[in-house]
Amino acid sequence: MAATRWHVRDFFSSLILHRGKFDLLQIGIINRLLKHRAFQYAAMMVNLFVFWVIILSGFFGSPVGNRNISIVFVWILWWFALIVLMVPLLSRIWCTMCPLPAFGEWLERRALVKKRSAFKYLSLRKPWPSKLNNIWLQNLGFLAIATFSALLVTRPVVTAIVLLILFVVPVFLVLIYSRRVFCRFICPVGGFLGLFSMFSALELRPKDKTLCRNHMTKECVRGNDNGYGCPWIIYPGGLERNNYCGLCFECIKTCPYNNLALNLRSFGGDILAKTGRALDEAWKSFIMLTLAGLYILVMQGPWGVLKDWSNVFWAPPYGWALTGVGGFLPYVGIFWGLSLAVTPSVFFLFTGASKLASGVRSVPLKKLFIDFSYELIPLALMAWIAFSIPLLLVNWSYIVNALLDPVGLGWNVFSGLYVPWTPLIPAVIPYLQSIVLAVGLAYSIKYSYRLAKQNFPEGKAALKAFLPQVVFLTFVSMIFLWLFMG
């Protein structure tokens, strides 16, 4: 009992009071669960089943999105759980249970649960091209999917087709390159999960890096009888950021020294990590921040013309018809232009102002641009959370009805039981969104100053460099606030 109280106290102390870290692996049941080989398999199997129900329902169920589980479960329930709960609290825990790479991984290992001690991987094991050893493919892939999001999130068959593609691609990739190259370099969801997991309150880290450095056999990379070498192609002993750790927990199983910790920590713990910062991640920040605004504008705004443009294939009544590329092309231009060029350019100007204001010439502008881009992570994440709040609060009844009639073909086993569409506290939603936005802004300001301090440790240069960033963050936040309440 005393131990439990201690756990609870430390849990809240690390998460809320920002005092130190708390290793969840100290809790026996979590330790045993994560070390059990069947844990990830079981989690994936459950999702695999749901995944195939969703695909089948997408192809053969009702074409009306809000009556089909493929839309309701994926784009309301899963999305909300992912962005509002899983990413901020549990980092890339979704990757632990994601069913997309399941078949490929099992095929390559020729095993479902057990670790085979002597076997040949079913893969050519080619090295991943070094030029693609970044998240540019994920950036562009996410932008491409986002461009067609009006179709994706409203047409069950489109969701089913995209999920099927995302299911088949990793199988082929694993046969050529092995391991989780799909998750690491291609998965459009993985890109932003990696970026936003830097803000998360959970991290997997080595307890003692010196021990890892001096440990010659490196089982976390090579694997042993207890588990596989890291499928995410990283060195767990050197982990400093969450970005590319998919929380498969193989390293916890293979480490002979139990030298890994699953820490609860304060929010945003990785934003100040100096390793791994690069332009591809900077652009991911710009893309995510811009798309959050555009999604709110197009999907939750009153401008019908934007919805017309986004809805390139119209469906009267639920067939396929092209409404006009004339509107879609400017829409694509706005999405890609703002995300890839306008937002980064404006940010570049403010970064230039920061450098000028600091009075320090020795810090390269490119380094400053990349470093400061990480301050956008809390604001972008909170903007996405704010976008997601009405998805659930307004449309929650669709989830209940989809459970009662998953494919929307009148299978309702509880005949007569139907939940009418009733938004939950709809008038309060803009206020909730504004509060969430304010939290993101406060965190972004906090990290902006600390990033400035990293670059300008002397005197008041950090403060002077930080002020233009505050102006930028406030400007962006005001745009979001106007979308919510103006």
As measured in angstroms, the least distance from the Cβ of 470 to another protein is 6
Choosing from 14, 358, 395, 455, the residue that interacts with another protein (CB under 8 A) is: 395
Here the tokens at position 419 are 């939940």
Kindly state whether residue 307 participates in binding another protein, applying the rule CB under 8 A: yes
Kindly state whether residue 438 participates in binding another protein, applying the rule CB under 8 A: yes
* CA 163 and chain centroid, separation: 17
- Tell the residue number behind the tokens 């998460």, with chain if given: 15
Integer CA distances (angstroms), 263 to 13, 82, 91, 147, in order: 12, 20, 11, 37
- Which positions from 412 through 431 interact with another protein, judged by CB under 8 A? 421, 423, 426-427, 429-431
Residues in a beta bridge with 200? none
State the CB neighbour count (10 A cutoff) for residue 160. 22
**Of 139 and 477, which has the nearer Cβ to another protein?**
477
Contact 181, 70 (CB under 8 A): no
As measured in angstroms, the least distance from the Cβ of 421 to another protein is 6
As measured in angstroms, the least distance from the Cβ of 453 to another protein is 7
Choosing from 449, 455, 465, 468, the residue that interacts with another protein (CB under 8 A) is: 449
Residues in a beta bridge with 63? none
Kindly state whether residue 459 participates in binding another protein, applying the rule CB under 8 A: no
Kindly state whether residue 150 participates in binding another protein, applying the rule CB under 8 A: yes
As measured in angstroms, the least distance from the Cβ of 236 to another protein is 29
Here the tokens at position 404 are 């009662």
**Of 40 and 154, which has the nearer Cβ to another protein?**
154
**Of 90 and 439, which has the nearer Cβ to another protein?**
439
Contact 291, 339 (CB under 8 A): yes
Number of H helices, E strands in the chain: 24, 7
Q: Measured in Å, how far apart are the chain's first and last C-alpha atoms?
A: 51
As measured in angstroms, the least distance from the Cβ of 389 to another protein is 12
- Whole-angstrom distance, CA of residue 147 vs CA of residue 334: 10
Kindly state whether residue 318 participates in binding another protein, applying the rule CB under 8 A: yes
Kindly state whether residue 486 participates in binding another protein, applying the rule CB under 8 A: yes
Task: Give the angle 169-175-176 at the CA atoms, nearest 5°.
Answer: 95
Helices (H), 300-375: 304-310, 325-337, 343-358, 365-373
Kindly state whether residue 394 participates in binding another protein, applying the rule CB under 8 A: yes
**Of 230 and 379, which has the nearer Cβ to another protein?**
379
Pick the stretch among 6-14, 47-55, 196-204, 465-473 that binds another protein (CB under 8 A). 465-473
**Phi, psi (deg, nearest 5) at residue 262:** -110, 90
As measured in angstroms, the least distance from the Cβ of 64 to another protein is 6
Binding site for another protein (CB under 8 A): 64-67, 150, 154-155, 298-305, 307-308, 311, 314-318, 390, 394-395, 421, 423, 426-427, 429-431, 434, 437-438, 441-442, 445-446, 449-450, 453, 463, 466, 470, 473-474, 477-478, 481-482, 484-486
